[in-house]
Amino acid sequence: MMTALPRTQEELDRPLIEVRNLSVRFGRQDVLRNIDLAIPRGQSLVVIGESGCGKTVLLKSLIRLIAPTRGSVHFDGQDLASLSDKELTSQRIRCGYVFQNAALFDSMTIGQNVSFPLRQHTNMGDREILERVRARLAEVGLPDNVLAKKPAELSGGMRKRVGLARALIMEPELVLYDEPTTGLDPIMSDVINELMMRTRRNYSVTSIIVSHDMRTVRRVADRVVMVSPVSRLRPDEPQAIFDGPPSELERCSDRRVAQFVRGEAGERLMELRTSLGVSV
């Protein structure tokens, strides 16, 4: 494992991530437009918004899994676009990524899945790797008897927890969560929320969570950013239509924010009926 170098106060005060005028276009479709964000170390940020508004694209752009069409992402003061492939890999090792569907290797056992980053990026021996894998699985509430199982033998909630254990195995400074509670029942969703909160306490990590689950927002967020689909914005309107603490969501005067928070679909249903030519 890499040992973190001592940091100056200036480095500690600097945002871990700075997004400057970030835009992403696929073909002729604008997905992200002029996003600006500064994310301090240790913050738990939840990005919300309706399906198709670019939340996951934003998340992947933060570690350059998707390259921006315009603008930049700075991680710990470094512009990711300026890094070589080797340097970019070194920066990504400092991040853990919890994919929406866990993204486990089906042909590998759970033990092999969780240990994969250690075998790729460290010189640890088998015994040390096994001890660390067991420790991370225990932290997410999974017993040793899952080590030899394949992902298909586990429930959806268990696979999500394995994905979190793998994301934590390198003891990252930043953890990115893509829809961590999607497809789970309310009880298991709350388990995942509790694990995210515990991870932040135990590791002092910066957390960025993409979600549409308002229970997750209220439980884990220090800060909430809501983005709107570019197609629904005025030409001069910023894509981030809310940026603040979760306690301010209910008081936000923007009707789009209020409708999302309350799950009110009336206006969108009206639009759908109009587009289909259905009389109201």
* Digit-coded pLDDT (tens) for 128-155: 999 999 999 999 999 999 999 999 999 9
Would 168 be classed as within a structural domain?
Answer: no
User: How confident is the model over 29-54, as pLDDT tens digits?
Assistant: 999 999 999 999 999 999 999 988 99
Phi/psi at 206 (5° precision)? -90, 130
pTM of the model: 0.88
Q: Report yes or no on 105 lying in a domain.
A: no
Decide if 23 is inside a domain.
yes
179 domain residue, yes or no = yes
Q: Is residue 225 part of a domain?
A: yes
* pLDDT average, residue stretch 273-278: 59
Find the domain containing 219 and state its range: 18-94+174-183+204-253
Average pLDDT over residues 205-221: 94
Q: Is residue 45 part of a domain?
A: yes
- State the DSSP code for 151: G
Q: Does any domain span residue 25?
A: yes
In a domain, 244, yes or no: yes
- Please count the structural domains in the chain: 1
CATH number, domain containing residue 248: 3.40.50.300
Q: How far is CA 100 from CA 4, 118, 139, 221, 280, in A?
A: 29, 22, 20, 18, 37
- Per-residue pLDDT tens over the stretch 65-98: 999 999 999 999 999 999 999 999 999 999 999 9
pLDDT category at 164 given cuts 50, 70, 90 is very high
